[in-house]
Amino acid sequence: MAVDFGVFVPQGWRMDLVEIEDPFEQYEAMTRVARVAEGTGAYDSIWVYDHFHTVPEPTRNTVFEAWTISAGLSRDTKSIKIGQMVTCNGYRNPALLAKISSTVDVMSNGRLLFGLGAGWYEHEWRAYGYGFPEVPVRMRAFKEACEIIHRMWTEDGVIFDGEFYQIDGPINEPKGVQSPHPPFWIGGGGEKVTLRLVARWGDACNVGGKPERLRHKFGVLRGHCEDLGRDYEEITRSTSINVFLLEEGDDPEDATALARGSKSYDEYSEQFMVGTAEEIVERLRPRVEAGVNYFITYMPRVAYEPGMVERFAREVIPAFS
């Protein structure tokens, strides 16, 4: 089975621009990685996170806003697709988000991958004045947003009167370039709500975890598709992975020293797949066997030296073509 790959660009959220002082140069470093990925011809897409504050804890460091940079990257690149993994529903009115995404799809000449999720990062929710509703409340709002956005991409004069959102015939022109609409990626593995929303509205899902969890979640998705009369095979099934690609002969502890900082190698290797190209391929295969047909990769320190992005394209991706 052919598998596609995307790669995150460094936007600051994971403290991956802190060694560059000038904010313009930080943006240029992000763009450079996007162009490197595009230039390989191996990646289907580049991705950004939708966050305002850094992790693992909020610090006073650069984090570029997701939709602004999606628009910017759509003009900085020429052919590679651009996605958000994933837009937080709580940060923008969904009708406005439908309008924004339609505009970016036009700016990119039909290269937008639209990612949406319910959101989770409490500190930034509260800091920006959004409160932080309980999970069931966030999920009900998320469900309404999926319908509004999808309908505004595909219908005129949409009327919606929900618990959280009300719209009265908003005009969304142009609706975008892609037909019938930009691919709708829904993030999360919730079995009762999120995966059912994927079956109802989504073109792709993003689910995390080890192979056994992925296999189970995709089985749940398949069941929802059967209930709703949806073709399960037309849904892209993605997962996100953290990778540190070693060169042959590298000592893993020495090679990862800068990237892991104060973390022990054991701790770091729990969060990142550390290995040579051959070892990474062997760790990805069980996920493919579990049903994954799209990997979205994050690689450390590529803002300073993007060579790992090129090596991954050259040494790993061809094993899945």
Q: Which helix (H) or strand (E) holds 121?
A: none
Average pLDDT, integer, range 100-111: 98
Residue 1 has pLDDT above 90, yes or no: no
Please state whether the predicted TM-score (pTM) of the whole model is above 0.85: yes
CATH code for the domain of 28 = 3.20.20.30
Number of domains in the chain: 1
247-267 burial by CB neighbour count: b if 16+ within 10 A, else e? eeeeebeebbeebbeeeebee
- Is the Cα torsion angle 182, 90, 291, 293 positive or negative in sign? positive
Cβ atoms of 81 and 109 within 8 Å: the answer is no
Residue whose pair of structure tokens reads 């628009």 in the numeric block: 71
What contacts 24+ positions apart, CB below 8 Å, involve 221-224?
221/195, 224/195, 224/196, 224/198, 224/199, 224/200
Smallest CA-to-CA distance from 182 within 221, 236, 139 is with 236
Half-sphere exposure of 203 (CA within 13 A, CB side): 13
Q: Quote the domain boundaries for residue 309.
A: 4-320
Q: How far apart are CA 86 and CA 196, in angstroms?
A: 17
- Determine the pLDDT at residue 308: 98
Cβ atoms of 84 and 67 within 8 Å: the answer is yes
Q: How far apart are CA 302 and CA 245, in angstroms?
A: 11
Q: Rounded mean pLDDT of the chain?
A: 97
Cα Rg of the chain (Å, integer): 19
pLDDT digits (tens, 9 = 90+) for 148-178: 999 999 999 999 999 999 999 999 999 999 9
- Determine the pLDDT at residue 261: 92
